């Protein structure tokens, strides 16, 4: 199959993809989309940058529109029909933006319950019928606990960046969400990048018996994209600061943007000041920066206000960085998983 039409998507979804200048599916999209259209429970597992978001979002919109037209199912206040849960606020904002871009042709309403957004805006969003909800886990649970959100109409649940959602930092919140929602009545979709995390989920689902069948749709799992070239430079610690200035000034002469990764907020701040002293224009991003300002800064980077982003791993997962030509690990990542996600910011589809 070399077109989205051959995967069985509705005409309005096809028009929405065409308007986004997306014409040919990737391997993971070809494998996953038909499964979701036919209501299978799916583990979507592929390398970062391979198009996993649209692999579940396009068929999800297809299902919402089909249920509305064929079965008369309509959206209601405070009761979403589909929910996408993601660990990071920036990623949630990006997915919500993609969903809203699809709704210009495939008519549905998407809203966000995202940490750091104004509470009044989120409450007002739920006072109108909701088809698709994009949420971060803490905010989602808070609204449910305060009876501002109900799951009685929910038919589809997506756990995106499930590698992170089932690690030590988010596992308790994720399991609380799965226990709060009656998942036996839902279509479940999990989005993975790393195989060990996928194995961990399989064990959880087997013990909890929340679903009987999870079909794995995978492509290039546990690896970086094959066309990304890797270069390692051996340096003493005191040589790194001078060398990265040389590299960035060299990169500035070529098209594309550069992301520089650090392991901590303090390292990120120090490096940003060092680069600014050498007249390099950049944007800084780490977890100690307030969420609203982080979103604004990442949007500026996407709009090419600056060509250099100095950041921690907060910017390493799922975010759309299609114009990034170089990734530099100023601090080498602590694990293979972090390396895969970092270098996946370049070479994306």
- Domain of 292 in residue numbering reads as 239-344
Same domain, 247 and 187: no
From 187, 218, 249, give the residue that closes a domain.
218
Is the residue at 266 inside a domain?
Answer: yes
Same domain, 135 and 78: yes
How confident is the model at residue 22, as a pLDDT?
A: 92
How confident is the model at residue 327, as a pLDDT?
A: 92
CATH number reported for the structural domain that contains residue 332 in this entry: 3.40.50.300
Same domain, 199 and 244: no
How confident is the model at residue 329, as a pLDDT?
A: 94
How confident is the model at residue 214, as a pLDDT?
A: 58
Q: What residues are paired with 278 via a beta bridge?
A: none
Q: What is the DSSP letter of 220?
A: S
Same domain, 118 and 197: yes
What global pTM score does this model have? 0.74
Same domain, 201 and 259: no
Tokens of 339: 């390396």
Is the residue at 228 inside a domain?
Answer: no
How confident is the model at residue 317, as a pLDDT?
A: 73
Same domain, 250 and 142: no
Is the residue at 232 inside a domain?
Answer: no
Tokens of 274: 């060092």
Same domain, 299 and 265: yes
Give dist(CA 72, CA 254) in Å, integer: 54
Q: What is the DSSP letter of 291?
A: H
Q: What is the DSSP letter of 319?
A: -
Is the residue at 230 inside a domain?
Answer: no
Give dist(CA 79, CA 150) in Å, integer: 5
How confident is the model at residue 1, as a pLDDT?
A: 55
By DSSP bridging, strand 215-219 and strand 42-46 are parallel
How confident is the model at residue 197, as a pLDDT?
A: 52
How confident is the model at residue 187, as a pLDDT?
A: 86
| CB distance 77 to 127 below 8 Å | yes
Same domain, 134 and 211: yes
Give dist(CA 18, CA 105) in Å, integer: 10
Same domain, 205 and 247: no
Mean pLDDT in each 10-residue stretch from start to end of the chain (349 residues)? 87 95 90 92 78 93 95 93 93 93 93 91 94 97 96 94 86 92 83 60 47 56 68 92 92 83 96 95 93 87 91 81 87 85 73
**How many structural domains are present in the chain?**
2
Same domain, 105 and 210: yes
């Amino acid at each position: 199959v070399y077109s989205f039409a051959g995967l069985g998507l509705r005409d309005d979804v096809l028009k929405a993809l065409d308007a986004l200048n997306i014409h040919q599916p990737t391997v993971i999209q070809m494998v996953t989309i038909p499964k979701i259209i036919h209501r299978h429970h799916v583990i979507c597992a592929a390398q970062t940058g391979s198009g996993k978001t649209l692999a579940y979002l396009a068929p999800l919109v297809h299902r919402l529109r089909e249920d509305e037209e064929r079965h008369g199912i309509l959206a209601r206040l405070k009761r979403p029909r589909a929910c996408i849960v993601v660990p990071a606020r920036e990623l949630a904002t990006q997915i919500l933006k993609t969903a809203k871009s699809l709704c210009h042709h495939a008519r549905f309403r998407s809203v966000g319950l995202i940490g750091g957004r104004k509470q009044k805006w989120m409450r007002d969003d739920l006072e109108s019928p909701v088809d698709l909800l994009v949420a971060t886990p803490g905010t989602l649970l808070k609204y449910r606990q305060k009876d501002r959100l109900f799951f009685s109409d929910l038919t589809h649940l997506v756990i995106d960046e499930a590698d992170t959602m089932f690690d030590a930092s988010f596992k308790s919140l994720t399991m609380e969400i799965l226990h709060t929602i009656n998942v036996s009545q839902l279509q479940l979709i999990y989005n993975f990048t790393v195989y060990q995390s996928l194995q961990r989920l399989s064990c959880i689902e087997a013990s909890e018996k929340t679903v009987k069948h999870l079909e794995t749709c995978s492509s290039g799992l546990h690896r970086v994209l094959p066309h990304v070239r890797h270069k390692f430079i051996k340096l003493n610690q005191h040589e790194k600061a001078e060398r990265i200035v040389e590299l960035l000034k060299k990169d500035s002469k070529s098209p594309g943007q550069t992301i520089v990764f650090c392991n901590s907020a303090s390292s990120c701040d120090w490096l940003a000041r060092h680069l600014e002293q050498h007249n390099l224009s950049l944007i800084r991003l780490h977890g100690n920066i307030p969420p609203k300002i982080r979103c604004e800064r990442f949007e500026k980077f996407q709009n090419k206000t600056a060509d250099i982003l100095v950041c921690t791993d907060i910017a390493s997962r799922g975010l759309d960085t299609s114009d990034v030509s170089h990734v530099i690990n100023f601090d080498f990542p602590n694990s293979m998983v972090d390396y895969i996600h970092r270098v996946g910011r370049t070479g994306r589809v």
